[in-house]
Amino acid sequence: MNKKLVLLGAGLLLTAATASAQQHVTGKVIDSAGEPVMGATVRVAGTKIVTTTDASGVFKLTNVPASAKKLNVTYIGMQSQTVNVAGNVKVVLKDNELGEAVVVGYGTAKKVGTLVGSVKKVSGDVVEGKPSVNIADALQGQVAGMQVMNNTGDVGEVGNVSITIRGNGSIGASNTPLIVVDGSPAGTSILSMLSSSDIESVATLKDASATSIYGSRAANGVIYITTKKGRRNEKAQVTLSQKVGWGQLARNIGNPMTADELLDFQLANGIIYADQYARYKAHGSNTDWQKYGFDNAAPMYNTEVSVRGGSENTNYYVSGSYLDQNGLTDFSGFKRYTLRTNLDSKVKDWLTIGVSQSIAYTERQRDGYTQQGSGNSRSFTGTAQLFPRYWDPYDPEYMKQHKIWGMEDWDSKYALRMQPSHINDIVYNGSAYVQIQPVKGLTLRSQLGLFATETRASNRMVPSMSETLFGEPAKGSESMSRSAMWTITNTAEYKFDINEDNELTLLAGQEGIKSNVGGFTASASGFEDDDLTLLSAATTPELASQNASAYQFLSFFGRVDYGFKKKYYANFTVRSDASSRFSKNNRTALFYSGGLMWDAMAEKFMRPASSWLTNLQVKASVGSTGNSEVGNYGHLALSALTQYGGKQGFYFAQYANPNLGWEKQIQANFGFTAGFFGKLTLDVNAYYRKTKDMLMSVPLPLYDGYGLSHGEHR
């Protein structure tokens, strides 16, 4: 009996000790705005004890070991938090990449973690951290499927930067994505005109679910740039930065022969004779033409200043920048001056107005007037790579004795300075909006945008060079081009929750675009003085040319976004485009898309993996987009000016094609995004892209009397 009492007492003591070694932990999880976070996972570190927060953000953990020190709190779209164990815990979660807002089309911004389409967001910090002139260059390596190529290699090149997303989708039409800045479409030249410090984020839209809301202009994807805005109730913050960078040749020519190796090879193969061999050998030159023609590095200096702040109702951001980048050759360079103003003001509780505008001025200098002869470029950069290494460019008399295609000093660096080419650009991009919220959830917005450019180019061949090399009078030209694209967009968006599990967003809109482009070129020849090369100083003025074109778009669109239990998301988009580029028979086209997304980490059965698998989303979409970048008058019969027998006349340049229609693309996408430990992201997509009714310009035989015919490839 005594033994039983002893055992019973020991058991009671053990139970009491165990009970005292456990504790209860309660708390609340909120976001940075103070709103409760429902469905957040709260786990006792190092154990399998886990729970989730309720609709009020409250959680309760029982039987927590006394030895427990930390709680891990996670929620999709927010940064994970580790806090100390206490009786009552308050946790504030901040948005992470999935929780950040991103504008992917018309209407209000969406969280990255709720996007159905294939969208990649790059933060402004990443763009600003790249020492590049062009925003597209800063995106290289950041967006899967994006390729960026400078077609000329000229420093500060504006018009010849090639950008493709998921490859080429057309042969005869453009493959360039649509560029949108703060909701207003712009040309590709804007990418060289924006200061990197002004960028808040860049979103790249890839699949039909994300791009079809833009219809016929989004067949090649969309690059949506959001610039920095002011901050509410924040004192003025002044930022001054100075950046220095260097550019280098992308690659060097492989292992060329030395001068001695080349001489031996040419003598053995009968390319040079013994007397030439002896003369070159005695001179002893071993010129590296690449080092002679190109600098080792091209420095870049960028100075930026900005002021950012706001009051209770008005936010502002003002900035200016100056960039100076040298080229890799002695007489090339690029300078840019920018000014930006962003202003948003809440006039009434239901009325907000704002303006976003920037202007940029650039100066580009190229290293020589590129003459075309016999299919070869006669500039230094086009010929020096063909020169033998035993030539000596530092001895003018020596170079004068060794001509290529009849040229002498043309191929020395001095010649570059004698062929000046200057280009000046002015680019304005701006938009103004009025936004009304008459009732809760309903937003009405009207926005007017303008993208305007002016380019002036001056090219010369000074007399002493032209007459010496070609035996003909020196030529020069001046050109100017202007463009203006007006866009007016009206949207109505209604967001509401049907109940706790169902949320719906409806969007309807209308958009009109009007674009005008024009320019002229004037040429003259017969300059007599190297220091006097104005066109009016030439002895022979040549025929001037002028061009002008225009197009218009009228569009209507709609989108439905649906979310169920914050796990399942769907959207459906439709857009109707009417374009002046096509005949009345085919002026209007309809584009559509649909997409689904499943947030697997919102499922209860995935919670045990949340400590290492922080994100898992599966997406699928299908839809159509169009391509209208085929010229403004492809459906009309055109004539062109020409000269014959010293007289001016017209000739038939293009057949009419009243049946010219839209080029369309059918796209499908399936993929998933996985995040590991909140630090590593894996984004995998498989896509299908088919182009229908591809548009092409077909050269016609000369006996036909016409030059081109535009039509569908069959």
Q: Which domains can be identified in the chain, with CATH numbers?
A: 21-93 (2.60.40.1120), 102-227 (2.170.130.10), 253-292+370-403 (no CATH)
**Which pLDDT belongs to residue 654?**
78
Instruction: Choose among 207, 222, 215: nearest CA to 575.
Output: 215
Q: Would you say residue 101 has pLDDT above 50?
A: yes
**Neighbour tally for 390: CB within 10 Å:** 23
By the 10 Å C-beta count (0-12 exposed, 13-18 middle, 19+ buried), 151 is classed as exposed
User: What confidence tier does 17 reach under pLDDT thresholds 50, 70, 90?
Assistant: very low
Q: What is the mean pLDDT of residues 448-471?
A: 79
**Which pLDDT belongs to residue 671?**
93
Q: Where are the beta strands (DSSP E) in 606-656?
A: 613-627, 638-644, 647-654
Q: Would you say residue 670 has pLDDT above 80?
A: yes
Return the SS3 of 413: helix
User: What confidence tier does 710 reach under pLDDT thresholds 50, 70, 90?
Assistant: low
**Neighbour tally for 512: CB within 10 Å:** 14
Q: What are the tens digits of pLDDT across the range 648-657?
A: 777 777 778 8
The DSSP line for 275-311 is HHHHHHHHH-----HHHHHS-S-EEEEEEEEEEEEE-
Q: What is the mean pLDDT of residues 446-461?
A: 91
Place of tokens 């009109």: 512
Give, to the nearest 10 degrees, the angle between helix 259-268 and helix 274-283. Answer: 180
Q: What are the tens digits of pLDDT across the range 251-296?
A: 776 677 888 888 899 899 988 888 888 888 887 888 887 777 777 8
pLDDT above 90 covers what percent of the chain?
Answer: 32
Q: Out of 368-372, 563-567, 661-665, which region has the weakest mean confidence (pLDDT)?
A: 368-372
Q: Would you say residue 409 has pLDDT above 50?
A: no
User: What confidence tier does 133 reach under pLDDT thresholds 50, 70, 90?
Assistant: confident
Q: Would you say residue 153 has pLDDT above 50?
A: yes
Give the pTM.
0.80
Q: What are the tens digits of pLDDT across the range 429-440?
A: 999 999 999 998
- Contact (CB, 8 A) for 476 and 430: no
pLDDT above 70 covers what percent of the chain?
Answer: 82
By the 10 Å C-beta count (0-12 exposed, 13-18 middle, 19+ buried), 614 is classed as buried
Q: What is the mean pLDDT of residues 513-533?
A: 86
Q: Do β-strands 234-247 and 222-227 pair in parallel, antiparallel, or remain unpaired?
A: unpaired
- Contact (CB, 8 A) for 555 and 576: yes
Give the best-scoring range by mean pLDDT among 139-148, 167-176, 447-456, 544-553.
Answer: 447-456
- The amino acid that residue 234 corresponds to is E
**Which pLDDT belongs to residue 590?**
93
Q: Quick one: which H or E segment has residue 443?
A: strand 442-460
Q: What is the mean pLDDT of residues 6-35?
A: 61
User: What confidence tier does 643 reach under pLDDT thresholds 50, 70, 90?
Assistant: confident
Q: Would you say residue 341 has pLDDT above 90?
A: yes
Return the SS3 of 262: helix
**Which pLDDT belongs to residue 569?**
95
Average pLDDT of the residues of the chain: 82
Measured CA distances, 197 to 140, 157, 395 (Å): 17, 20, 47
| CA–CA gap between residue 117 and residue 102 (Å, rounded) | 12
Q: Would you say residue 410 has pLDDT above 60?
A: no
By the 10 Å C-beta count (0-12 exposed, 13-18 middle, 19+ buried), 250 is classed as exposed
Instruction: Report the residue count for the chain.
Output: 714
